[in-house]
Amino acid sequence: MKNIESKLKEKRVFKPSEEFVHQANLNSRTLDKLIKKYKTDSSLFWKELAVNEITWIKKFTSVCTGRSPFFKWFEDGTLNISANCLDRHIETDKKDKIAIKHVSEDNQINSLSYNELFSKVNSFSSGLKNLGLKKQDRVIIYMPTIPESITAMLSCARLGLIHSVVFAGFSSESLKDRINDCSAKVVITVDSFKRGGKFIQAKETVDRALAMGCPSIQHCIVYKNSSEEINFDESRDIWWDKIIDTNDKIITPEEMMAEDLLFILYTSGSTGKPKGIIHSSAGYLLNCLLTNKWVFDLKDDDIFWCTADIGWITGHSYVVYGPLALGSTILIYDGAPTYPDGDRFWKIIDENQVTVFYTAPTAIRTLMKLGDELPKRHKLDSLRLLGTVGEPINPEAWIWYHKTIGKENCPIVDTWWQTETGANMIAPLPGIYPIIPGTCTKPLPGIEIGVVDSEGNEVKDTKQGGNLVIKKPWPSMLRGIWGDEERYIKTYWEKYDNRFYITGDTARKDKDGNVWIMGRSDDVVNVSGHRLGTMEIESALVSHKYVAESAVVSFPHDIKGEAIHSFVVLRDNFKSYAGKQFADELREWVKIKIGSIAKPDRISFSTNLPKTRSGKIMRRLLRNVARGEEISGDTSTLENENILNQLKDIH
């Protein structure tokens, strides 16, 4: 991010307005009480919150139990998440309140009240149940962000099935790997969906995935989302409309244990294989509820638009579970941000009177580059709070968001968290904290973070960074990696003897205790707020039969934050292919293997990679090349110095 940061150093402190402070869900007084309670008795702190926020079937007696790194929260309590998101609201006057307002790319608006969503979920749950699925069976959801995908998630929750939403931009191969990793029995998809005016053939991708071999799959449920023709395999495929029960039958929510799994969500790590992050029921829900109240300050009359796709954790926690459990109104839009024009987001905000808006720095930078004229076509006066997530926001984009979108009238919450943490961990409390652009401020009440050196000692120097760790368990923490306990321990706990949860990020804490995220300490890159493992891309590249070896690093990018540079060595017989045409072919190859989000921005071909005498690829040096920097540090161990020049030939 260096080049972006240097464009503008913003040191101002932005205080929330009197008006905002006055109405905020959390004020200094309530915060002090919370902090005091946590300090005196952390168990009581979580207990009271869990009792007040969640509707339990059977109350719990224990709060946090287990031994690091395996924690259990509210273990003997029982509940149902869909009942927390639906049933408890339809018993009140929220019944007719809008739960979901769906805006399609063609600007068709479909609003569903809590009661209507409740019926939809019950009739789909009935269909799913008739397929003979059992508690904790796995269901893959490969759909865009539409009311039906949310219905599918809530129906799984109602029946106690574990869902795994796979972002509908992933390739058939990525989809197949995820299906097989968790041995899913059912995949739910759409015929196709529209993005940027074009139809994306989701069912075709599913067909290809299943054709590669997914022995656990028994059925593919297809929601008819468009009028495009699709292939239909009668022995396996079922239309959504054929299985739903239209008799207004109510399906009793399954009584689930607090620790039963709610979902698996795959994310990238430092090996070639994505990890299936697993989340529990009650603990996950609790932090979702709290952060929607504390950080997004949600009130009964808010219209909350979080632009994340349900395929990511943000879509789970701030589109579906958090806001719906609170009984809020969410807006969802499944089209492209710039379709048909660069002011689409601003138009949607005005037309639907969105009050709270949450998006990624990449989107902000993209829309900022299009010029001020576009947002200026709209009033944007319904907005009262703005949020960002996914990557550090550079001050230039922050100021633009604040002035041009927020009209200097909306606090901005820069929320730091991860797929693994389930909910916001470090974020401003908008009615309390003064905000400095670039910092996600302080950990939320109940969250204890540390910035530590390689021994695990707090880094005292405020300029120097360290590893960002979480020092105490919290309810919405991941419960592990699906089917891979060893990797869970190795990745997140081992380095500090199970004492802290290791985030994989580096950060520094300033003298006021504000946290500044610096980057990743592992081989994970963050492209447009999407997390990708460099190893994953490397494995995709070397699976091409012309490719012998590859190394992937990132470089700073004005819009994407980080972008991908792949260094590729071709096999002897194919050396002559090095060049632009084959570079484009390789990009397509990565798209087929992983998905468009992983396509390398730059590819360089060389006859070898810079290696140490022991044969290790010198990634530091490759990063220098990719970033256009002077080669730093010692190159005396470099085996083959003459290839450095070749690396600079970029396609």
Q: Does 517 bind ligand WT7 (CB under 6 A)?
A: yes
User: Least separation, in Å, of the C-beta of 142 and ligand WT7?
Assistant: 18
What is the per-residue binding string for ligand WT7 in 231-270, x denoting contact by CB under 6 A?
------------------------------------x---
Name residue 6's amino acid.
Answer: S
Angstrom distances, CA of residue 389 to CA of 100, 234, 315, 424, 441? 22, 42, 12, 9, 13
Residue 480 CB, shortest distance to ligand WT7, in Å, is 16
Max Cα–Cα distance, the chain, nearest Å: 76
Contact 163, 263 (CB under 8 A): yes
Least gap, CB of 76 to ligand WT7 (angstroms)? 30
Taking the least distance from each CB to ligand WT7, the nearer of 244 and 278 is: 278
- DSSP annotation of 608 reads S
Nearest-approach distance from CB 270 to ligand WT7, in angstroms: 12
Nearer CB in complex with ligand WT7: 153/210: 153
Say which DSSP state 466 is in. Answer: E
Residues 311-350 touching ligand WT7, rule: CB under 6 A, are 313-314
Of 495, 304, 461, nearest to 384 (Cα)?
304
Minimum Å gap between C-beta 427 and ligand WT7 is 8
Q: Give residue 475's Cα distance to chain centre.
A: 18
User: Which has the closest alpha carbon to 175: 185, 192, 187, 163?
Assistant: 187
List the x/- string, 376-415, binding to ligand WT7 by CB under 6 A: -------------xxxx---------------------xx
Q: Which two tokens stand for residue 363?
A: 């989107």
Which CB sits closer to ligand WT7, 142 or 318? 318
Closer CB to ligand WT7, 34 or 313, in the complex: 313
> By CB under 6 A, what part of segment 270-299 binds ligand WT7?
none
Q: Does 306 bind ligand WT7 (CB under 6 A)?
A: no
Residue type, 136: Q
- Report yes or no: 54 and 84 within 8 Å, Cβ to Cβ: yes
Nearer to ligand WT7, 75 or 505 (CB): 505
Written as six digits, the tokens of 623 are: 């990063």
Report if residue 520 touches ligand WT7, rule: CB under 6 A. Answer: yes
Shortest separation between residue 151's beta carbon and ligand WT7, angstroms: 23
Candidate segments 17-25, 345-353, 498-506, 605-613, binder of ligand WT7 by CB under 6 A: 498-506
Handedness of CA 474, 476, 477, 479 (dihedral sign): positive
Q: Identify residue 313 by its one-letter amino acid code.
A: I
275, 442, 509, 531: which one binds ligand WT7 (CB under 6 A): 531
Nearest approach in angstroms of CB 468 to ligand WT7 is: 8
Distance in Å, CB of 489 to ligand WT7, minimum: 19
16 binds ligand WT7, rule: CB under 6 A = no
- What is the three-class DSSP state of 518? strand
**Binder of ligand WT7 out of 122, 280, 328, 503 (CB under 6 A):** 503
Q: Which is nearer to ligand WT7, 121 or 440 (CB)?
A: 440
Q: Which two tokens stand for residue 508?
A: 């520094």
| Interacting residues with ligand WT7 between 407 and 466 (CB under 6 A) | 414-419, 440
The CB-of-442 to ligand WT7 minimum distance in angstroms stands at 13
* Angle in degrees, CA 403, 409, 412, rounded to 5: 75
How many C-beta atoms surround the C-beta of residue 512 within 10 A? 13
Q: How far apart are CA 619 and CA 235, in angstroms?
A: 50
Task: Select 531 or 593, whichever has its Cβ closest to ligand WT7.
Answer: 531
Evaluated on CA atoms 612, 614, 615, 620, the torsion sign reads negative
Using the minimum distance from each CB to ligand WT7, give the nearer residue, 114 or 170. 170
> Residue 272: which of 545, 541, 493, 556 has the closest Cα?
541
* In the complex, least distance from residue 393 CB atom to ligand WT7, rounded to whole angstroms: 7
Continuous H helices in 160-246: 172-181, 202-211, 240-243
According to DSSP, residue 156 is labeled H
Q: Residue 6 Cβ, how far from ligand WT7 at the closest point, in Å?
A: 18
Yes or no: say if 318 and 296 are a contact pair by the CB < 8 Å rule. Answer: yes
Contacting residues toward ligand WT7, per CB under 6 A: 267, 313-314, 389-392, 414-419, 440, 503-505, 517, 520, 526, 531
